[in-house]
């Protein structure tokens, strides 16, 4: 990949698995022992906001304790080496940013931000602490996690489509491609754009035209980055 090429990286829960954050599919459809509809839908929020706040407070605590792993770091090194890298992540953690990646789009929101239940434009960084029932926005409405629940529209999806449509190379890491519309992004890439999938189940998950690398992220991503950086050094005048 030449250094002018635009590398777009689509990541899912799998890239954070080796940082100790559970993937969505690890727990046979349960998520930290909760049914999705109870903790990650607007209906669940209406039914039991305290349960939902507890669920996200626990996950936020895990994210704060987690550390970026070699896959997050390798992607940040590629950007630091001068490659044109944009990460579109389904994850709500901040491990890409903490590894040093600058250009990150969160399709499904960020667990380290809170937003107004009444006005989604009111977003508040949660540098410390959690969200409790009674924590209100400037308009007096309850704060909720700034994440996209199942059944909610994905506001950043159009932006993500535009980014992928400009890719010269698409790298997909650690996603089961089960969640829509995120999984459709694969089909937004230009027809001549090579696509690589790094995942322990890559061969089973990959469409024909995708190069599958059956490996965990921290084993599959760093060698790709080393190869691209070596290629670039050879290209240097």
Whether cis (ω within 30° of 0) applies to the bond prior to 181 is: yes
Name the residue nearer to ligand BV8 (CB basis): 89 or 116.
89
Which residues are 35's β-sheet partners?
30
Binding of ligand BV8 by 23 (CB under 6 A): yes
Among 42, 100, 194, 200, binds ligand BV8 (CB under 6 A): 200
Contact 37, 44 (CB under 8 A): yes
In the window 143-182, what residues touch ligand BV8 (CB under 6 A)? 147-154, 174-176, 178-181
Name the residue nearer to ligand BV8 (CB basis): 5 or 147.
147
Element (H, E) at 44: helix 42-47
Name the residue nearer to ligand BV8 (CB basis): 84 or 175.
175
- Rounded Cα distance between 13 and 34, Å, is 17
Among 108, 113, 115, 144, binds ligand BV8 (CB under 6 A): 108
Name the residue nearer to ligand BV8 (CB basis): 191 or 208.
208
Among 54, 201, 214, 232, binds ligand BV8 (CB under 6 A): 201
- Rounded Cα distance between 157 and 195, Å, is 19
- Rounded Cα distance between 154 and 182, Å, is 9
Number of residues located near ligand BV8, criterion CB under 6 A: 35
Q: One of 96, 108, 187, 227 is an active-site residue; which one?
A: 108
Active-site residue 108, yes or no?
A: yes
- Rounded Cα distance between 196 and 175, Å, is 12
The phi-psi region of residue 231 (left if phi > 0; otherwise alpha if psi is between -120 and 50; otherwise beta) is alpha
Nearest alpha carbon to residue 7 among 96, 79, 74: 79
* Residues taking part in catalysis: 108
Where on the chain is the footprint of ligand BV8 (CB under 6 A)? 12-15, 17-18, 23-25, 40, 90-92, 108-109, 147-154, 174-176, 178-181, 199-201, 216-217
């Amino acid at each position: 990949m030449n250094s002018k090429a635009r590398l777009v990286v689509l990541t899912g829960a799998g890239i954070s698995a080796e940082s100790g954050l559970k993937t969505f599919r690890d727990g046979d459809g349960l998520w930290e022992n909760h049914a999705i509809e109870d903790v990650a839908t607007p209906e669940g929020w209406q039914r039991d906001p305290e349960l939902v706040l507890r669920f996200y407070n626990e996950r936020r605590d895990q994210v704060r304790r987690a550390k970026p792993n070699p896959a997050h770091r390798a992607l940040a090194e590629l950007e630091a080496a001068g490659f044109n890298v944009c990460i579109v992540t389904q994850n709500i953690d901040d491990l890409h940013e903490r590894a040093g990646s600058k250009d990150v789009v969160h399709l499904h929101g960020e667990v380290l931000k809170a937003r107004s239940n009444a006005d989604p434009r009111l977003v508040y960084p949660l540098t410390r602490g959690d969200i409790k029932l009674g924590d209100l926005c400037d308009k007096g409405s309850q704060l909720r996690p700034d994440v996209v629940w199942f059944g909610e529209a994905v506001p950043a999806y159009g932006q993500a489509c535009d980014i992928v449509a400009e890719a010269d190379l698409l790298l997909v890491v650690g996603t089961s491609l089960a969640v829509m519309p995120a999984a459709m992004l694969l089909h937004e890439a230009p027809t001549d754009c090579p696509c690589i999938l790094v995942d322990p189940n890559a061969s089973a998950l990959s469409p024909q035209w995708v190069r599958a690398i059956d490996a965990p992220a921290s084993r599959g991503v760093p060698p790709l980055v080393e190869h691209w950086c070596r290629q670039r050094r050879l290209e240097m005048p």
